[in-house]
Amino acid sequence: MKLSKEQVKHIALLSRLSLTEDKVEMFQEQLSDILTFVEKLSELDTKGIDPKFQIIPQENVLRKDISGMSFPYEKTFMNAPETNGKHFIVPKVVKK
Amino acid sequence: MELITKSLKELSSLMSKKEIRPSEITEELLSRIENTKDKLNAYITVEKEKSIEAAKLKDKELEKLSETEIPDLFGIPLSIKDNILVEGQKMTCASKMLKDFVAPYDATVIKKLREKGAIFVGKNNLDEFAMGSSTETSFFGVTKNPWDLERVPGGSSGGSAAAVAARSAIASLGSDTGGSIRQPCSLCGVVGMKPTYGRISRYGLTAFASSLDQIGPITKNIEDNAFLLNVISGLDSKDATSAKLPIPNYLEALNNDIRGLKAGLPKEYFVEGIDSEVKEEVMEAVKTLESLGVEIEEISLPHTSYAVETYYIIAPAEASSNLGRFDGVRYTYRAKEYQDLIDMYCKTRAEGFGNEVKRRIMIGTYTLSAGYYDAYYLKAQKVRTLIYQDFQKAFEKIDFIVTPVAPTTAFKIGEKTDDPIKMYLSDIFTIALNLAGLPGLSMPCGFDSKGLPVGIQLIGKAFDEETLYAVGYKLEKELNINNFPKF
């Protein structure tokens, strides 16, 4: 599986990573190698095999719906790069 | 260098008789950390003042407690892999992205250790976001192997394993997604357990691949390991994947009779790629097991050779989703200059993540993207079923499985950094059981001709850590390996 430079750039955008041109080249080669490596799985016939998304047989873990204290403001925002103490501040999203 | 060479269990027992004080052991350990840190780089953060303060408070508390009231880990200093939250301490995941992040709460495992009286002296180095097999992808530089400072300690829990080996940690917690506890323990000559998926709450562990991640103890010996697993196991309402099962007494399990147990040697684990000296040492240990009354038989796990490929689809896919949260809004790091929101995301992540993390995010993004999901992710989850069934079938007639932990002993720093796939193959013997959710114990079983430690892996049935400890305990006694490097 050989990726084109355009594909690498598209994957980078979907991944929200900006890449310099030399990084595009490096990842083009490495990602192609990895995708070629994992292609080995196509040798196996998996018709009729169910996927194993979860290993431990446990489902619908429920708890009682009781209200309680949630995480306090000061802890929620203590690691925010930009905050007013009650909100995360982000670059302007909507145009006027 | 008196107390820190003792085991966790010995220290706990001395403390329970009030023969040592918390500040005594904490100060001795801190000076050992100080004296070894430039050589090893096993710690990202050392909490010197806070730990001494906590230890002195515990000194006073100890005076008031009667011997029976002293909790198991009272006043014992522990170190923790730096992807687990310890409230008020930095948690960097060895990434530039989180270099200033401070934990707002305790992980469940930390809460449990704290309730037993433990002191948290520092955070151990790792591969960035636990992605790697050598600790070389850390933003804070590689950890050195105390057996040979030119070699890697393995990874991703390399800082924890190197620190325990060098006696600059009494014991540590690591995390294991594809071998990240067991492989560094093998390369550093210490004991590590990857418990069954669900045995331990993952709340407060930075998620890498959520269906594979599990926290586990890294210790000097088997007894300490069982001792810690007792404390950190159990159901947690904050982790819906934690198992609703009683916690066995692992310390009592050490004395379980192992005579007549059946062990399987999977033929697929002793073929290509394995170093001949590693194979020899492991086979010697297998003979020792036989002399202890364990019956050995050859078994087959036919899908073994697909495990690494399966893992490198599933783990990056889950990682690409989990690491989406690092967006420059909530977790400390944000790029200085950008044009708009999307640009802020892209630049923050480009600056904050290292190459290995970027590789895995991109592979995961690709394999989950429209049109490729069935061919990669769904296919891999189906192969995972086949790998799981291999183990289920094997366990119909045997009690546990014996394999090497890693195909080689510790390799040189820089040897595999340019070739991701070569690096991925160093987890060839550890990955399958993460995919199957099974427990695996890594323990030293000998040395190669360079004097580097070789590890043996015992794989158990789901939630049967007891058998692994029972077998490991007897094997450890019989092999009687000195795992304290002179460095």
Give residue-wise pLDDT tens across range B300-344. Answer: 999 999 999 999 999 999 999 999 999 999 999 999 999 999 999
CB of A80 within 8 Å of a chain B CB? The answer is yes
| Mutation site, A38, A49, A59, interface B, largest B CB count within 10 A | A38
Measured between beta carbons, the chain A residues lying within 8 angstroms of B356 are none
**What are the tens digits of pLDDT across the range B364-383?**
999 999 899 999 999 999 99
Catalytic residue among B180, B186, B201, B320: B180
Measured between beta carbons, which residues in chain A are less than 8 angstroms from residue B420? Answer: 30, 33-34
Residues of A in contact with B373 (CB under 8 A): none
Mean pLDDT throughout B17-44?
97
Cβ atoms of B128 and B353 within 8 Å: the answer is yes
Q: How far is B29 from chain A (nearest CA, A)?
A: 30
CA atoms within 13 A on the CB side of B206: 32
- Which of A14, A38, A40 minimises the CB distance to B369? A14
Residue B156 catalytic?
A: yes
Asked if residues B181 and A39 have their Cβ atoms less than 8 Å apart, the reply is no
The rounded mean pLDDT for chain B is 97
Of the candidates B184, B190, B112, B192, the residue with the CA atom closest to the CA atom of residue B153:
B184
Please tell me whether the overall predicted TM-score, pTM, comes out greater than 0.95 for this model: yes
Pairwise CA distance, residues B109 & B86, whole Å? 9
Average pLDDT over residues B83-99: 98
Please write down the long-range contacts of B413-416, taking CB distance under 8 Å and 24 or more positions apart. Answer: B413/B134, B413/B136, B413/B142, B413/B144, B413/B150, B413/B151, B413/B152, B414/B136, B415/B152, B416/B133, B416/B134
Which residues in chain A have their CB less than 8 angstroms from residue B243's CB? 56, 58
User: If you search the block for the tokens 């794989």, which residue do you land on?
Assistant: B459
Residue B103, pLDDT score: 98
Interface test with B, best of A31, A33, A52 (most B CBs within 10 A): A52
Q: Provide the residue range defining the domain that includes B301.
A: 1-487
CA distance B130 to B94: 8
pLDDT over threshold 70, residue B36: yes
Secondary structure element (H or E) that encloses residue B15, with its range: helix B8-16
**pLDDT at position B253, please?**
98
Number of CB pairs, chain A paired with chain B, less than 8 A apart: 156
Rounded mean pLDDT of B201-224?
98
Share of residues in chain B with pLDDT > 70 (%): 100
Q: What ipTM score was computed for the predicted complex, to two decimals? A: 0.95
Please say if B220 is a catalytic residue.
no
- Mind listing the pLDDT tens digit for each residue in A8-19? 999 999 999 999
**What integer pLDDT is reported at residue B454 of this predicted model?**
98
Q: State whether the Cα torsion B429-B430-B433-B438 is positive or negative.
A: positive
What is the predicted pLDDT for the residue at B420? 86
CATH label of the domain that carries residue B176: 3.90.1300.10
CA dist B204 and B226 (Å) reads 22
What is the count of structural domains for chain B? Answer: 1
Chain B residues lying within 8 Å of A50, measured CB to CB? 382, 385
Question: Is the pLDDT reported for residue B158 higher than 80?
Answer: yes
Higher-pLDDT residue of A53, B456: B456
Question: Which chain A residues have a beta carbon less than 8 Å from that of B327?
Answer: 16
pLDDT at A36 over 70: yes
For chain A positions 41-60, those within 8 Å of chain B (CB to CB) are: 41-42, 44, 46, 49-56, 58
Task: Provide mean pLDDT across the span A57-84.
Answer: 90
pLDDT of residue B272 exceeding 80? no
Kindly determine whether residue A38 and residue B312, on different chains, have CB atoms separated by under 8 Å: yes
The verdict on A11 touching B (C-beta cutoff 8 Å) is yes
pLDDT, residue A64, reads 87
* Cα gap B357→B187, rounded to integer Å: 23
Query: What chain A residue is nearest to B339 in terms of C-alpha separation?
Result: A91
Helix (H) or strand (E) holding B123: strand B119-124
Averaged pLDDT for residues A55-71:
83
Q: Given this model, what pLDDT does residue B431 score?
A: 97
Whether residue B1 has pLDDT greater than 60? no
* Model confidence at A57: pLDDT above 90: no
* C-beta of residue B182 within 8 angstroms of C-beta of residue B161: no
* Residue B212 pLDDT > 60: yes
Which of B243, B330, B382 is facing A80, going by the closest CB pair? B330
Q: Return d(Cα B124, Cα B206) in angstroms, integer.
A: 14
| CATH number given to A5-43 | 1.10.20
Please pick, among B95, B133, B138, B156, the residue that the annotation labels catalytic: B156
Nearest to A91 among B211, B340, B365 (CB): B340
Q: How far is A37 from chain B (nearest CA, A)?
A: 7
Rounded distance between C-alpha atoms, residue A33 and residue A29, angstroms: 6
| Residue B320 appears among annotated catalytic residues | no
